[in-house]
């Protein structure tokens, strides 16, 4: 069974640029959630995708957007990057048919905005 994978591992961007992060969910999981983890803090929920549609959103501006594909993989896009967007971005998936609160996380993408 393959776990959650994310790419790239690390990324450096400059203020104002756009970035796309990618996530492949764990085998058998159809729901993908994205979290932002600033240094020294717990992860913060950005949004969740289920059946290729956004299914709930945390307190993040519209320049954070996402997609889910038919194979359940997902992308997180951030436009007009700001210095405060520097963080570890985590993708988590949960299984089909329940246990949806049990989120299984990938290793994350470390984004640095200069």
Partner 1 sequence: GQQLNQSPQSMFIQEGEDVSMNCTSSSIFNTWLWYKQDPGEGPVLLIALYKAGELTSNGRLTAQFGITRKDSFLNISASIPSDVGIYFCAGPSANAGGTSYGKLTFGQGTILTVHP
Return residues touching partner 1 (CB under 8 A). 4, 31, 33, 35, 40-45, 48, 50, 54-59, 90, 92, 94, 100-108
Quick one: 11 or 104, whose CB is closer to partner 1? 104
Measured from the CB atom, the residue of 17 and 64 that comes closer to partner 1 is: 64
Q: What φ, ψ does residue 85 adopt, rounded to 5°? A: -75, -10
* Closest CB 31 distance from partner 1, rounded Å: 6
Minimum CB–partner distance for residue 41 and partner 1 (Å): 6
- Please give the Cα distance from 25 to 52 (Å, whole number): 13
- State how far the Cα of 84 lies from the Cα of 92, in Å rounded to an integer: 22
Q: By the 8 A CB rule, do 33 and 43 touch?
A: no
């Amino acid at each position: 069974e393959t776990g959650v994978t994310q790419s790239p591992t690390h990324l450096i961007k400059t203020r104002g640029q756009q970035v796309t992060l990618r996530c492949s969910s764990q085998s058998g999981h159809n729901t993908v959630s994205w979290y932002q983890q600033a240094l020294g803090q717990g992860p913060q929920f950005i949004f969740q995708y289920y059946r290729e549609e956004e299914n709930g959103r945390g307190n993040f501006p519209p320049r954070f957007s996402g997609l889910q594909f038919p194979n359940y993989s997902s992308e997180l896009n951030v436009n007009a990057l700001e210095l405060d967007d520097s963080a570890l971005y985590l993708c988590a998936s949960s299984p089909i048919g329940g246990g949806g609160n049990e989120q299984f996380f990938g290793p994350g993408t470390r984004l640095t905005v200069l």
